[in-house]
Amino acid sequence: MKSFLETINQLCSKIPEDILALIARIAIGLVFWRSAQTKIDGSTILGQKWQFFNVSDSTFTLFEYEYELPLIPSDISAYMATYGEFFLGLAIMLGVLTRLSALGLLGMTLVIQIFVYPDAWPTHIMWLVPLLYLIKNGGGKLSVDNLLR
């Protein structure tokens, strides 16, 4: 049994960090990207909406009546959230300014947790893990960051 567990540990330790970074980037990036897709209107290219500036009426209604962030007017917070999810989600998936992008999404996650859905902490912890991993380790070799370096 001991040798079996050692073999499993050795195999698991060979998982490349760059693959973990890529999976973390795609997993968390898609969460925010898909959320942005629900907030914008317009035509699609390859099944995705790219008109980030075309925030839907339902998004403004959602921010006015359900999210109700303190200190920030609902129309401004609707734009901020939509643009943040769109650009930071895309940047994370591509590995552009990965640490900074992950930090931005971490801030967004904390705002959602504290002010919008405080009971949704199990979901937000699941978002927190890849974001902290990317803040600590960066985007890895399979990223635009690495190409620019």
Phi, psi angle pair for 45, to nearest 5°? -125, 125
107 in a structural domain = yes
Residue 96 falls within a domain, yes or no? yes
Residue 12 covered by a domain:
no
Average pLDDT of the residues in 122-147: 96
Residue 21 domain-assigned (yes or no): yes
Averaged pLDDT for residues 137-149: 93
User: What is the number of other CB atoms lying within 10 angstroms of the CB of residue 135?
Assistant: 16
Domain membership of residue 94 as a residue range = 17-140
Residue 149 lies in a domain: no
Cα–Cα distance, 144 to 149 (Å, whole number): 9
Quote the pLDDT of residue 75: 94
In a domain, 145, yes or no: no
Residue 2 has a pLDDT of 84
Structurally, the chain folds into a number of domains equal to 1
SS (H, E, C) the chain: CHHHHHHHHHHHHCCCHHHHHHHHHHHHHHHHHHHHHHHECCCEECCEECCCCCECHHHHHHHHHHHCCCCCCHHHHHHHHHHHHHHHHHHHHHCCCHHHHHHHHHHHHHHHHHHHCHHHHHHHHHHHHHHHHHHHHCCCCCCHHHHHC
pLDDT for 84 equals 97
Question: Each residue of 40-93: pLDDT tens digit?
Answer: 998 889 899 999 999 999 999 999 999 988 889 999 999 999 999 999 999 999
pLDDT attached to residue 70: 86
Phi, psi torsion values for 97, nearest 5 degrees? 45, 50
Please report whether residue 44 resides in a domain: yes
Torsion, CA 91, CA 35, CA 70, CA 55, rounded to 10: 90
Is 10 within a domain?
no
